[in-house]
Amino acid sequence: MRKRRIAILGSTGSIGRQALDVVARHPELFEVVALSAHSQAELLFDQVRAHRPRLAGLSAGEVPLPVDVRGSQWFFGPEALSQIAGLADCDDVLVSVVGMVGLAGVLAARQAGRRVLLANKEALVAGGHLVMSLCPPSADDPTLIPVDSEHSAIYQCLMAAAHNPYERIILTASGGPFRDFTSKQMREVQPQDALRHPNWQMGPKITVDSASMFNKALELIEAKWLFDAGTDQLEVLIHPQSIVHSMVAFADGAVLAQLGLPDMRAPIAFAMAYPKRIVSGTAPLRLDQLGTLQFEAPDTERFPALRLAVQALRAGGAASCVLNAANEVAVDAFLKRRIRFTDIAAVVEDSLQGLGALPADSLEAVMEADRLARDRAGRQITRITLEDT
């Protein structure tokens, strides 16, 4: 079998590094033809030395290149992601960057006819209709495969359903480190507290999103686009053990679930080797050693992100883009200690109330909604900061 050629956008992040671990386990199956990072130049240089890709890039801007990495063609600046995605001679583009920058990379990859392995939430949240219009459904040769553990689980459950329509999609959430916190305790949360996830190893933005459940809010919106789901067909269950990655319910009362230890190499390997299953490096699941698996309904008073996601889905247009942009700005402000943890949702809600009716019928409209939401969120953060001083 010919090796699958893969480009990895965001190769120095958690998902990118784990994807390269899967590649290293199966050099007979995969060839890395392109790598990109935002600003971790030294780590990217090491990856380029190890894999010798034809293309490489740094989206933060140009830096001096060591002699031993100049064999690759380099791209620098904000356009590097879309340039690499469009030019790479590959089969698959793994989009594992964080933030709105992923949307351009996804669109460029699909316009070039590449299969997208999607580990970027914002592309679908902000531009779902733009992405899915370029991803015609095909069971035999899919054009987009989700990498998030929850959406990968749903994808696998639907494969097993043999085209039977589903009734409900049930996304599971660990509940994060503050699952049992009171509202008063959550108000006093510090960045170092939010960055300690009980089950997963992720980057800072996604880890904070998991703690606030905005991660799950974004995943609800993603699921709407990936699986053509109605808002009323989507629900979330808290599952602290992170063993059941998501479930799908059917008309006959059956619920299919995908289980596994919390290790992102499993869904990464599933997407990279589809439709084959390969050794990922994930340890085998031993149900007899697990004990009890818990499930509970989320508290949308303490975790308003889920309520705001439903509000954005029902509003349509650019509301989901506004939610995403405001959340990005608010999380950054929280990590810089400018606002409290509980202010993140307040900033997002203010942006939705003010800008939730914006259109999203083109890439330009989506980018404008993103800009306006970031501006409004920034002004709201300044007001909150002034009130606290």
* Same domain for 154 and 136: no
How far does Cα 44 stand from its chain's mean position? 21
Residue 388 has pLDDT above 80, yes or no: no
3-state secondary structure of 111: helix
Distance (Å, whole) CA 290 – CA 313: 36
Residue 222, domain member (yes or no): yes
At a CB cut-off of 8 Å and minimum separation 6, what does 47 contact?
11, 12, 20, 35
Degrees to nearest 5, angle at CA 17 with 15 and 21: 110
- Give me the count of residues in the chain: 389
Global confidence as pTM: 0.93
Strands 234-238 and 255-259: unpaired
Band (246; pLDDT cuts 50, 70, 90) = very high
Residue 298 has pLDDT above 90, yes or no: yes
What is the 3-state secondary structure of 265-320? Answer: HHHHHHHHHCCCCCCCCCCCCCHHHCCCCCCECCCCCCCCHHHHHHHHHHHCCCHH
* Same domain for 52 and 23: yes
Burial of 379 (0-12, 13-18, 19+ CB in 10 A): middle
Q: So what's the pLDDT on residue 303? A: 95
* Same domain for 343 and 291: no
Structure tokens at 343: 């202010």
3-state secondary structure of 3: coil
3-state secondary structure of 235: strand
Residue 53, domain member (yes or no): yes
* Same domain for 340 and 259: no
On whether the CB atoms of residues 272 and 92 are closer than 8 A, the answer is yes
**For residues 184-195, average pLDDT:** 92
Band (291; pLDDT cuts 50, 70, 90) = confident
Q: So what's the pLDDT on residue 68? A: 97
Band (321; pLDDT cuts 50, 70, 90) = very high
* Same domain for 17 and 132: yes
Range of the domain at 210: 149-181+196-300
* Same domain for 328 and 261: no
pLDDT tens by residue, 97-139: 988 889 999 999 999 999 999 999 989 999 999 999 999 887 6
Share of the chain above pLDDT 90, in %: 88
Q: So what's the pLDDT on residue 276? A: 94
Q: What is the CATH number of the domain that holds 334?
A: 1.10.1740.10
Residue 189, domain member (yes or no): no
Q: Look-up: residue for tokens 């959430």?
A: 173
Q: How many CB atoms lie under 10 A from the CB of residue 59?
A: 23
Q: So what's the pLDDT on residue 200? A: 61
* Same domain for 327 and 285: no
Q: So what's the pLDDT on residue 309? A: 97
Of 94, 140, 138, the residue nearest 114 (C-alpha): 94
* Same domain for 155 and 142: no
* Same domain for 287 and 157: yes
* Same domain for 115 and 33: yes
In the chain, the DSSP E strands lie at 4-9, 30-37, 55-58, 73-76, 92-95, 115-118, 144-146, 166-173, 234-238, 244-250, 255-259
pLDDT tens by residue, 62-78: 999 999 999 999 999 99
Distance (Å, whole) CA 169 – CA 250: 9
Residue 201, domain member (yes or no): yes
On average, the pLDDT of the chain sits at: 94
Share of the chain above pLDDT 70, in %: 98
Residue 140 has pLDDT above 90, yes or no: no
On whether the CB atoms of residues 266 and 320 are closer than 8 A, the answer is no
Number of structural domains in the chain: 3
Distance (Å, whole) CA 71 – CA 55: 9
pLDDT tens by residue, 193-229: 998 876 666 778 888 999 999 999 999 999 999 999 9
